[in-house]
Amino acid sequence: MLKRELQSLPNPPAVRKLKLKELNRINKDEYVKADKIPLTIVLDNIRSGMNIGSVFRTSDAFLVSHIYLTGISATPPHREILKTAIGATESVSWSYVSHTRDCIMELRAAGQRIYAVEQTTESMDIRQMSDIAILPTVLVFGNEVGGVSDDILDLMDGSIEVPQFGTKHSLNVSVCAGILIWEFYKLFS
């Protein structure tokens, strides 16, 4: 009976994956000239090159202005970064600064608002981010084990966290970056 009922259903339209040229993506030169969202990412002592590469790839997708790699964070052309970035290290503007504190002080001097992505006593829920109306913005993502360095928390204008409802206490840093970058893209685009 079920087989007969299924056979009587209309055939759904054929679905196919789009070919790369059908995606209408811009090339690297066009990307460099494209307007970026006023968001800068600081990766504070990120251990995994694959996490760094993933942040580059997401930053490319949503037109992030700049990425700062600090401390022990690997830099391109590190093999693990290139593996996950898939060319985004060539399009996204980036710099290396050996000390995160120096990087933050430089960004603060340039007048940028700086937020740690961290679970603190004063964290703002990501769902309240629309309250951040001052541009440009810097998001600091911390190390996979210890989070944002304690010695720079005092330099932040605040902290933002992604609420979680399961048993784990944190998200993978590249996943967390993807969520926040998307949320900022929606606010600024």
Strand order in the sheet with 64-70: 94-97, 64-70, 37-44, 137-141, 113-117, 158-161, 124-125
pLDDT category of residue 2 using cuts at 50, 70 and 90? low
Is-contact 69 102, C-beta < 8 A? no
Could you read off the pLDDT of 44-65 as tens digits, one per residue?
Answer: 999 999 999 999 999 999 999 9
Report pLDDT digits (tens) over 126-185: 988 876 766 789 999 999 999 999 999 999 999 999 999 999 989 999 999 999 999 999
Q: Which of 82, 124, 1 is nearest to 139 (CA)?
A: 124
DSSP 7-50: HHSPPPPP--PPPGGGG----HHHHHHSPPEEEEEEEES---HH
Q: What is the pTM of this model?
A: 0.90
So what's the pLDDT on residue 7? 66
Domains of the chain in sequence order: 26-162+169-188 (3.40.1280.10)
Mean of the per-residue pLDDT values of the chain = 92
Tokens matching residue 130: 């629309």
12 vs 116, more confident: 116
State the alpha helices, DSSP H only, in 9-159: 28-33, 49-61, 79-85, 100-109, 150-153
Block residue for tokens 């079920």: 2
pLDDT tens-digit series, residues 89-104: 999 999 999 999 999 9
